[in-house]
Amino acid sequence: MRTSPVLARLLSGLAAVLVAVPAFAAETNSPLLTLERLYGSGEFGGEGGPSLRWLDDGSGYTTWETATAPGGGRDLVRHDPATGATNILVSAADLVPAGRSSPLSVEDFAWSKDRSRLLIYTDSRRVWRTNSRGDYWVLDRTSHELFRIGGDAPPSSLMFAKFSPDGRKVAYVRDRNIHVQDLQSRRIETLTQTPTPHIVNGTSDWVYEEELYLRDAFRWSPDSRFIAFWQFDTEGVPEVALVNNTDSLYPKVQWVKYPKTGERNSAVRILTVEVEGKTVRPVALPGDPRNHYPFDLTWPEGSARFVVQQLNRLQNTNRLFLADPFTGAVEQFHTDTDAAWVEAHLDLRWTRDGKRFVLPSERDGWEQLYLVSLDGKRKQVTRGKFDAVQLVHLDEKGKWVYYIASPDDPTQRYLYRTRFNGRSTERLSPTNEPGTHSYSASPDGRWAVHTWSRFDQPPRIELITLADHKTVRVFQENTRLKERLAALKKPSSEFLRIPVGDGVELDAWCLRPPDFDASKKYPLLVHVYGEPAGSTVKDEWGGTGLLWHWMLAQQGYVVMSIDNRGTATPRGREWRKSIYRQVGVLASQDQAAALRHLLANRPYLDPDRVGIWGWSGGGSMTLNALLRHPDLYKVGISIASVPNMRLYDTIYQERYMGLPSDNAEGYLQGSPLTFADRLKGELLLIHGTGDDNCHYQGAEALVDAFIRNNLPFRMMSYPNRSHSISEGVNTSRHLRELMTAFLHEKLPPGPR
């Protein structure tokens, strides 16, 4: 039997992939990084600050500390921000259930409003990547009584338990319904009904969880009388199959309701239920519930009505309604529109009287902050040609809005504040600390946990006074990691801007080998994301992922990353929304134009050794680069990609592309699958078969197209791994060894 040339190349490639990466000495004192040091030893793991939780009154913060008393476990300790003094609020001994010898392992917790009771979450079991079920226990701090919520509910079966504002009840989700337990009588009431298996109350379907971050889908009223909640009717939503071939004799198939572009969504409604009478009322939001997205629900303090934000299916109009829990009637009081899409902003920040809130909007061409009142009046707070990236704190007493922005450099982030009247703006982040700053402010705005890092500098984490940015105490300097980094042969780094025509410049970073010689030519590896949900060019510490790029630079690669137009960077609305209805098209054009400029102006880059790699949207962009511009890119590693945009979900893909029915050509031209017959370079395709986000179906569609066109490539499937390809022993290291070996073979390192 004669072996075809294509099959011979495939078999040869497979053998090469299976060859182990050359072993590098994992010596702690070596100046060179290795895969063992990065993914085996944990030698370069950074240290975060304390996992703290601010108390609602701003009087301090709490941390879980190893108990000093016999019995083990952890105490919940209060810290005074000003003095550093501590006292134990809940001891580990109080967390030992009757009949057990050891305390509960606390995964999350919440206080009742008066702090007389503590709600504890433990023994979780994952449902999705970020969604889980578990057990909830209540500790009465006065009587020291500890009891499990849910009565005779099976272990690890409850979700999203919350105290009522008066602290007398706990509501939770179990078996697609909302239940309430009275903490005095222990009586449990089921407040909702699921007449069909398609109805889900109080939690969300897959696409809402993934794209609109809705998980705990119910809210108590401030007077504890009502619960407002989301209801999902998933009937008719098409399903995808996740097949587990490894854990049993026969395959296990899990079916997931997943609306792909243009397909049928769940019907999503908002309802209210009166806790005592169990009377359920629908909220009369306008529009087809399968083609509108009520994505945020807030019950202002002291208000008899609650606020609902609702996007239409195209997501170019956001309407805000006041809803009456007694009647279900709604009153529209604010609207935001955009010719492309409106960003969905969750968890509105309210004034204490519950009459005004801060709402970001791009209506003036930049993302600015507005104070909106319930009578529909809107007042712009921030102004200028910059984006207010994130709201940090609303200071009513001083009439300041604190937020993150970077007017001069979109790769960095700083803290600013502006008066409510917009007439005074101050930068608070130190001017001698360029890079990225983030803040977790106390509820009263007196204090904040401040984190600062740079591209080549691990984070420093400290407690500050927010208004004057004075350091109170340093939590973490990452001294050990900094010392180990200082002992390495460090690549040189550079941030730059690359012109791509028509006055457009793209932000980028570049790593060059430690022993760089500009008279020689080096292979170039481009790390890409390129989609509107994120960016890669940031002046902040990148952890192990960055150090893998350092390792490649030490081995003789130039590594770069470029943010094309349409990425989520603070460069204004026009920048971000230029890719509307052409995701994959303009982005890959920008990447290619930037590469051509680099090759023409940096003679040390070898045009015959150019590679590109990316994950998720970056995996798709890698495919676009390799297939659309085969003259430029010679090697690509595509991980967890979406080769055909029609295969992705409604909320994400339609937000940026519109509906397939009115943008069929855009979907066709934006999908790398369309250009599968153009493959010339060396491609390594990687996907987890258990990826519930970007389905393995897309990888198989691409493989089928390559086979149909008799084109060689390599592929690695990770059984049952999700989108992160991280589950299981040794997975992350195996993945990086695979990638590194492929680059060594197909994009040989070192100067020529």
pLDDT in tens, 45-84: 888 888 999 999 989 999 999 998 888 899 999 999 999 9
What's the gap between Cα 323 and its chain centre? Answer: 30
Q: Report whether 67 contacts 75 (CB < 8 A).
A: yes
Q: Work out whether strand 558-563 and strand 504-512 pair parallel, antiparallel, or are unpaired.
A: antiparallel
Task: Name which of 691, 581, 706, 538 is nearest 636 in CA terms.
Answer: 706
Q: Tokens at residue 42, please?
A: 């944990």
d(CA 688, CA 725): 6
Helix (H) or strand (E) holding 731, with range, is helix 731-746
Q: Tokens at residue 225, please?
A: 């009388």
Q: What is the pLDDT of residue 15?
A: 37
Q: Determine the average pLDDT of the residues in 247-257.
A: 96
List CB contacts of 210: < 8 A, sequence separation 6 or more.
649, 651, 652, 693
Q: Work out whether strand 117-126 and strand 132-140 pair parallel, antiparallel, or are unpaired.
A: antiparallel
Name residue, tokens 């969504």.
Answer: 265
Q: Do domains 193-347 and 488-746 have the same CATH topology?
A: no
pLDDT in tens, 336-382: 999 999 999 998 999 999 999 999 999 999 999 999 999 999 999 99
Give percent of the chain above pLDDT 70. 96
CATH fold, domain 488-746, is Rossmann fold (3.40.50)
Q: What is the pLDDT of residue 210?
A: 96
Q: Which CATH class is domain 193-347?
A: mainly beta
Q: What is the pLDDT of residue 20?
A: 38
d(CA 375, CA 298): 16
Q: Return the CATH number of the domain spanning residue range 103-190.
A: 2.20.25
- DSSP classification of residue 413: B
pLDDT in tens, 408-431: 999 999 999 999 999 999 999 999
> Is 314 in a helix, a strand, or coil?
coil
d(CA 368, CA 570): 11
pLDDT in tens, 109-138: 999 999 999 999 999 998 766 668 999 999
Decide if pLDDT at 384 tops 70.
Answer: yes
pLDDT in tens, 1-51: 543 433 343 334 433 333 334 443 445 689 999 999 999 988 998 888 889
pLDDT in tens, 488-498: 999 999 999 99
d(CA 108, CA 121): 5
The residues spanned by each domain of the chain are: 103-190, 193-347, 488-746
pTM of the model: 0.94
Q: What sign results for the dihedral spanned by CA atoms 638, 643, 649, 651?
A: positive
Decide if pLDDT at 590 tops 60.
Answer: yes
Q: Report whether 329 contacts 270 (CB < 8 A).
A: no
Q: What is the pLDDT of residue 27?
A: 57
DSSP 140-191: ETTT--EEETTTTPPTT-BEEEEE-TTSSEEEEEETTEEEEEETTT--EEE-
d(CA 529, CA 537): 10
**C-alpha distances in angstroms, 575 versus 238, 326, 407, 473, 587?**
35, 45, 14, 39, 11
